[in-house]
Amino acid sequence: MQAILALEDGRIFRGRGFGAPAEHSGEVVFNTALTGYQEIFTDPSYAGQIVVLTNPQIGNYGTTPNDAESSRPYIEGLVTREFSPVSSNWRSTQVKDEYLERNGIPVVADVDTRAIVRHLRANGVMRGVISTAVDDVDALVAKARAIRKMDGTDLASVVSTKQPYEFSDQDPRNETGDKFLPPSLAPGSKQMHVVAYDFGIKQNILRMLTRENCRVTVVPATTPAADVLAMNPDGVFFSNGPGDPEPLDYAQQNVRDLAGKAPMFGICLGHQIFGLALGGKTYKLKFGHHGANHPIKNLDTGKVEITSQNHNYAVDPETLDEGTVAVTHVNLNDQTVAGLKHKEHPMFSVQYHPEASPGPHDSHYLFKDFRKMMDEWKK
Tell me how long the chain is.
Answer: 379
The total of other beta-carbon atoms located within 10 Å of residue 123's CB is 14
From first CA to last CA, the distance across the chain in angstroms is: 63
Nearest to 83 by CA among 103, 110, 64: 110
d(CA 346, CA 326): 12
Range 245-262 burial, b when 16+ CB lie within 10 A, else e:
bbbbebbbebbeebbeeb
49, 324 contact by CB (below 8 A): no
Alpha helix positions (H), 221-260 = 225-229, 249-258
Give catalytic residue positions.
268, 353, 355
339, 350 contact by CB (below 8 A): yes
The total of other beta-carbon atoms located within 10 Å of residue 124's CB is 12
Nearest to 202 by CA among 166, 239, 236: 239
Which amino acid appears at position 132 of this protein? T
